Amino acid sequence: MNLSEVGDARVNGYLFVLQRSLKTFLPAESVRDAVREIESHVRERIAAAEATPNERDAIERILAELGPPLRVAQAYSAERTIDEAVTTGRFVAIVRAVWHLAVTTVVGFFAALGLFVGYVVSFATLLMAALKPIFPHNVGIQFVNGVPIGPAAEFPVPAAGVDLRGGYWVIPLFAVAGLAGLVLMQWCARRYLAWWRNRI
């Protein structure tokens, strides 16, 4: 089907709204590539469609099958961001993909919350390993009424009933635990994104 000027203007309007929507999710250079890719897909579908007396209905049907521009932008940007994160495994790409899913889906929000807590605990454990030589009496394994609770840093001094135990041997323990936690969180994030990509 060959488009008239009115039909071409409708397609261009759809692509304009799509471009504006994509700008909220992707960097500018990626937006241009995405719009070109989607435009090519739309125009191929229109060219393959049989000519009908009512061009407007045919165009609207094709655009409706594709979906509203905002939803297309969300799905496209999610797919692209997740692909980059799973393929490269870079921390920044993973954070961007997890954040994207967190702000667009309920499942993504709770997964991001769990990953965030895991990353924070891992970083905090590494930080305690670094603080132990500087504050030897304020960092260690926390005991409350003789019961071990876990690694802790107490400032300025531990509260009554709280005892911090452990010499400098806790430094490698905290360092290994923190690094293992970061590796585990990175693995979990990649597995979660790979699962999401397969679901898409």
Nearest 5°: phi and psi at 151? -65, 145
Give me the domain span that covers residue 147: 105-200
Residue that is written with structure tokens 């970083």 in the block: 123
172: pLDDT strictly greater than 80: yes
| Residue-level pLDDT at 156 | 77
- Whether residue 54 lies inside any domain: the answer is no
User: How many other CB atoms are there within 10 angstroms of residue 79's CB atom?
Assistant: 13
Q: Which of 45-49, 107-111, 126-130 has the lowest mean pLDDT?
A: 45-49
Question: What is the DSSP code (8-state) at residue 159?
Answer: P
Each residue's pLDDT tens digit, 55-98 = 788 888 888 888 888 888 888 888 888 888 988 889 888 998 99
- Whether residue 96 lies inside any domain: the answer is no
d(CA 153, CA 126): 12
5-22 vs 55-66: helix crossing angle, rounded to 10: 20
- Whether residue 133 lies inside any domain: the answer is yes
- Whether residue 164 lies inside any domain: the answer is yes
52: pLDDT strictly greater than 90: no
| Residue-level pLDDT at 158 | 64
Question: What is the DSSP code (8-state) at residue 67?
Answer: -
Residue that is written with structure tokens 């001094």 in the block: 157
- In order of 48, 55, 68, 94, the CA distances from 59 in angstroms are 12, 6, 13, 37
pLDDT band at 123 (very low <50, low <70, confident <90, very high): very high
CB of 102 closer than 8 Å to CB of 109: yes
Query: How many domains, the chain?
Result: 1
Pick 79 or 25 by higher pLDDT: 79
154: pLDDT strictly greater than 90: no
Q: Which of 13-22, 73-82, 165-174 has the lowest mean pLDDT?
A: 73-82
- Whether residue 80 lies inside any domain: the answer is no
